[in-house]
Amino acid sequence: MLTYPEIDPIALQLGPLAIRWYALAYISGILLGMTYMSHLLKRMADPPLEKKQLEDLLLWSVLGIILGGRIGYVLFYNLPFYLEHPQEIVQVWHGGMAFHGGMAGLILAFFLYTKRHGKPFLPVMDLAAAAAPIGLFFGRLANFINGELYGRVTDAPLGMVFPGGGDLPRHPSQLYEAGLEGLLLFLTIFLLVRYARALEKPGLLGGVFLAGYGLARFTVEWFREPDAQLGLLSLGLSMGQWLSVPMILLGGYLIIRATRREANA
């Protein structure tokens, strides 16, 4: 069994102001992601955005992620509670964000932005797909520091006793997700960009990200503790697994569509 490194969730205390690792993870992921997207734009023969437009897209991204993540959590993970306590919906500082909702919000924000400015949607989403694993990596590390979203009880050597998780060792599922959804997915997309001209095939990177994340999340959910208020749903699957299925299907469709267009070009 490994020892859980108890790291203070508060990175910096400035009087009454507490700056948490979780907030820094969100900020770092978005800023580094935008920096990487800017780098990729310079490599594209026909970039879908100008640098100024990419900076404008930052605000749209933040709003899409926060609003979508919160609405997704309310609808899919704890709707009965929020129907009884609607005032809690806006109190995001109490916790409760859903990645699948945040992803849906981001996609909607990008769609509205590209439609408004007459820009191609799929190439812009491909850029976001290339950068998204950066934010996922930092976000899952922040989950680990917070001691939240821990895994199921295990006797495996990687087991850890998490604060608030009882006395039995559990899978550090946050680190599994950081490795699969963050590092591995980023490396996969990086290699496709570098060696397979993926940015020239609209929709390919978006499809790889959706399918890759969906498969990674579906797999890790076997090790992750289901949400207490939901437990396991039909077929013994968690909510995270059921929400990942549409991502895998849509991602597969985009991959097939992009490769077929390339073959027919």
Residue type, 81: F
185-235 confidence digits (pLDDT tens):
999 999 999 999 999 999 999 999 999 999 999 999 999 999 988 999 999
Stretch 57-83: mean pLDDT: 91
Tell me the pTM.
Answer: 0.93
85-142 confidence digits (pLDDT tens):
999 998 876 778 888 999 999 999 999 999 999 999 999 999 999 999 999 999 999 9
Beta bridge partners of 151: 224
Token pair of 153, please? 């009880």
Helix, coil or strand: residue 18: strand
Tell me whether residue 111 is exposed, middle or buried, using C-beta atoms within 10 angstroms of its C-beta: 0 to 12, 13 to 18, 19 or more: middle
* Contact (CB, 8 A) for 124 and 114: yes
Q: Residue 18: is its pLDDT beyond 90? A: no
